[in-house]
Structure 1
Amino acid sequence: MDTELTDTEIELKFLVSDNVIAHIPAIITEFAKKVINKPSKNLQNAYFDTVNRELRALDIGLRTRCFGGETYNDNHCEQTIKLAGQVVGGLHQRPEYNLPLEGKYPDLSLFDANIWPYGMQIDEINKNIYTIFTTHFIRRTWILETESGTKIELVLDKGEISASNQVETICEVEMELVSGSRADLFDLAKKLIAHSEVRLGLYSKAARGYRIADNQPLTADIALSSVSLEQDSTLEQTFSLCLQYGIEFVQKHEQCYFDAPALHILKRINDGVSLIHHAFGLFNNILNKDKIKPLLDELNWLLNELNWVETAVQLKNYTSKKHAYYKKIKSAPELNQVIDNLKLQHPDVGKMHQVFCSARYNHLILNLTIFLVDASWKNDWNASHLQIAEQKVTDKAASLFEKDWHEIRGLIASDQDISEKAYIAQKAQLERNLLSGCCLGDLFNQTLREEFRTPWLDIIHGIDELCTLDYLKRLCVQQNDDSLNKMKMWLEQKSENLLSAMEQSRLATFKSSPYWR
């Protein structure tokens, strides 16, 4: 039996609200020259793996799908293999293979042996697979043809994922490019995103099902990691990898926030947006400044939407029972009231959900994705750009780090203690240097890199706390209250204590050898 290859899927996935569904027919009609409305299907799917999740480890998805009835029907069932692919900003590209299903369980031996990764134990895995989770949804399908002849399949899936006695809702739109121009696919996506309550979907139904089945909810990262690079990476490849890492980091934590909203998750989103913004500056010699300005403007808008988060995180920490200042702050009702009033001014979860479901935010993520997958930076290249883009990034990284190192040493290498104002003034520069390390640091020894960065990270965290202490001190002065004036003196003492601790970190930076040399 021949394996049917449905080529490599190129599709966009969106998470939508019920309110959006009513607009889909109008969007389709306005966009397409010709529309075929297919009958709705009742799809029952089962996903299989071994106890040790051997398929999952290889990023292989194994699914059976039956159409129509309440029970499996041999005449209307198929088995599907999806191999490792790529997901960027909601654009999913994965090789997919389909075969008719004979019986209730899939049979891996029926697929072409050439599709499997080298060394995969097909027969052994085949004997040990079982149903991990199921999905059941109603699918509505439209085939769209544009004026230019591009064909796009748009589907609406509404139903649920079931695993381990838990259920999660499915309400998704998927757009798959059947033939023709990818630009038309993106144009259709922009029309859908123009409606609020739409988000680009990073995770497949299978990924969501595994998380439920294995009781492994999506969790936020502690911090940005280093972008994975190869020693022979070119400048262009490195820029592309930085952009891809940043987009995925933002989208992952956006989903974390919808799953379990928390301030520290918003901080991670802010970190990811900052890295993307920094990457544009880091590689500006291969980019057209006029072409990237709209993207930078929108990134600045999003950073502005999140500029309250750092202060909010610090205020939450100060009023946490675990914090060393908790008892003192609780003993000052006037300051407590000031802090509570500040917290009320911050956007709540509902308002942040509106930002992440807004047309503006999702247009930004989609436009970054288009810029990345189409390598749009090449459109205006001349011979000089090409020559620069093909340079090895290792040379640029070492010279950049050396330049940054001399600048920072010049700023805080004084023999005298550094003042609170001086530290705060250098916060942005230090953060940019650390972002450069996230983008390019993977080219160098990890242990040496982490040893070098640790005291600098401590200094950054200290500056964040200094900023909040300074903010609280200014609030105390503005209230013109005797008890708050006493609190201001206490806060000033805490700033002095913090500066002493930061001095130890600053001195430690002199002992660390630059890891890029």
Structure 2
Amino acid sequence: METELKLLVCAEVDVAAVIEEQLLPELNVNCESSQVSLFNQYYDTQDKAFRSMNMGLRVRGQDGRYEQTIKTAGVQQGSLQQRPEYNIDLDQPQPDLSLFDQQIWPEGARVAELQQQLDVIFTTHFQRRIFHLIMGQGTELELVYDQGEISAQGHQSAINEIEIELKSGDVSYLFELAGKLIQKLPLRAGVMSKAARGYQLASGQELQPEPLPGFVSLSADSTVEEAFCRALDTGLNYWQWHEQCYLETQKPKALKGIRTGIHMVSQALNLYLPMLQCSDLLDLPQRLMKQLDDWYWVDALLEIKSLRSRKGPFRKRLMKHQDFLSYLHGRYEGILREYRPVELICNKENASLQLALTALLVQKPWRQHDTAWQSPVIEHARGWLAQNWFHISQSMPRDKTFNLQHYLSAESSLDQALFNSLFLADLFGDDKREQYRAPWLDILDGIDELKLLNLLMCELEQADVEQKDSLKAWGEEKISRLVQVMEQSRQQSQQREPA
């Protein structure tokens, strides 16, 4: 089983020099270093049979020697990957599937047919600096720095990354070394392997922002620890996926995914922290809130984009006000210049925080402090969801008439409740799951539209445009009507408490 952590280099820097001149003297450990040039061909069939089996097939060439490798499906937690790996020496640079142990293949795999259909899908060629480290307690780590490129279908993508592999011993040294590297180099978590990047490059398709999952997969006997780790892993993967998506595509919707992922991780910690009390967790909620604050502007950015869009909900009205749309374009560009999302993604605190969260998933430090993590999560889930319902009922009493500001203030409570339902809903049947979520999803959709109209009104106050008064009157009327509809929906949703 290969256990490896990947970090991507975010800026121009002499990585090898920093490792040799700053990191290694500080570590003061036994180190053997070397350098190799590696050329790799990745194979699959035209219908991507290996990809569909969650397997990767590679032939690597180095100094006239060849090796074929199959990596099978494993576990990814943040930037840490754990995957079974099978290596066979070759006499020539073409794969021979018959040399692999038959037990590695999925049931029903027709190996001889696969052999006949193999074709090169993409290649990688890079220089690798290798540092073999003997840490405390005999732990062996391999620190490598790769620099080169992936090539597919006439397109190239740069490789500029660090990998730390645990060869033997205590995994805590792997995280300790990664933390030191983050403090000395401009790094961020690497969530896509070279193979995954190669397949994407070969497909010619861009990464796309992902919708939220319907719920986290749990079973009736899932423990508190299992439920927490799955919730945390879901949020962290969502966060890191959308960072990668934005850096590659500059799609504004990916920025919303980043903020949602941070929010999801934050809520997972808030929900489970009382059951998993240990010092390693205590500072994380505050650090996550700081991260959320750093991204608070994203909603306004996307709302401005929606107002300007020809597909936006108010396009017919706003297309008559080109001077206002021009003003909004300037505001949109100004927000991006001011908050610099690429710098937020690549800053040290972001990388350090994600590393700490990944370490939690692997090391599970709460096991040293209590046994509450072993209890079935279903024993607590119904009470947690009932508490959410009570909190919403208290903050949105039926006998109180709500206005625009009331609804905007209620958004955070509703988000919290719906994240908790995402974490826990799989413990209950489909009917109960939808009974809990559906009414509040409708109200949140209404709040999104209210936020859009509220931003429009705020921007009109600042803009020097013609026909401002008529546009403000239109906006006020839209808000009034929408609040009336939402009041009816809220009264209906609060008539009975979800089971």
1:426 to 405, 410, 413: 410
Take 1:275 and 1:508, find their aligned partners in 2: how far apart are those partners? 28
1:15 partnered with 2:8: yes
Give a deviation string over 1:66-113, Cα, whole Å, max 9, x none: 113xxxx4xx00111112111111111111111111333212221222
Within-5 A mapping of 1:62-461: 62-68=57-63, 73=64, 76-146=65-135, 148-288=137-277, 290-326=279-315, 328-329=317-318, 331-332=320-321, 335-336=324-325, 339-340=328-329, 342-348=331-337, 351-381=340-370, 386=371, 388-409=372-393, 411-412=395-396, 414=398, 418-446=402-430, 449-450=433-434, 453-461=437-445
Q: Shift of the alpha carbon at 1:277?
A: 0.7
Q: Give the TM-score normalised by the residue count of structure 2.
A: 0.91
CA gap 1:467/1:32 in 2 versus in 1, 3 angstroms: same
Take 1:102 and 1:470, find their aligned partners in 2: how far apart are those partners? 69
Take 2:131 and 2:342, find their aligned partners in 1: how far apart are those partners? 29
Take 1:210 and 1:348, find their aligned partners in 2: how far apart are those partners? 33
- Match for residue 4 of structure 1? none
- The one-letter amino acid of 2:138's match is G
Higher alpha-carbon deviation: 113-122 or 85-94: 113-122
Give a deviation string over 1:130-189, Cα, whole Å, max 9, x none: 222111112121212235433221111111111122211111111112223222221211
CA contact (8 A) 2:39 2:62 kept: yes
CA gap 1:243/1:44 in 2 versus in 1, 3 angstroms: same
- The one-letter amino acid of 2:419's match is L
Take 2:386 and 2:339, find their aligned partners in 1: how far apart are those partners? 44
Q: Shift of the alpha carbon at 1:453?
A: 2.9
- Match for residue 34 of structure 1? 30
- The one-letter amino acid of 1:151's match is E
Give SS of 1:426's match.
helix
- The one-letter amino acid of 2:24's match is I
CA gap 1:466/1:289 in 2 versus in 1, 3 angstroms: farther
CA gap 1:505/1:167 in 2 versus in 1, 3 angstroms: farther
Take 1:119 and 1:67, find their aligned partners in 2: how far apart are those partners? 34
Q: Percent identity?
A: 35
CA contact (8 A) 1:61 1:83 kept: yes
Give SS of 1:52's match.
coil
Give SS of 1:438's match.
helix
How many residues were matched structurally? 496
- The one-letter amino acid of 1:295's match is L
Give SS of 1:66's match.
strand
1:24 partnered with 2:19: yes
Give a deviation string over 1:7-30, Cα, whole Å, max 9, x none: x11111111144152423222333
CA contact (8 A) 1:20 1:197 kept: no
Take 1:396 and 1:504, find their aligned partners in 2: how far apart are those partners? 33
Which residues of structure 1 form unaligned runs of 5+?
Answer: 1-7
Q: Shift of the alpha carbon at 1:394?
A: 2.6
Take 2:189 and 2:14, find their aligned partners in 1: how far apart are those partners? 14
Give SS of 2:259's match.
helix
Q: Shift of the alpha carbon at 1:257?
A: 0.7
Q: Shift of the alpha carbon at 1:129?
A: 2.2
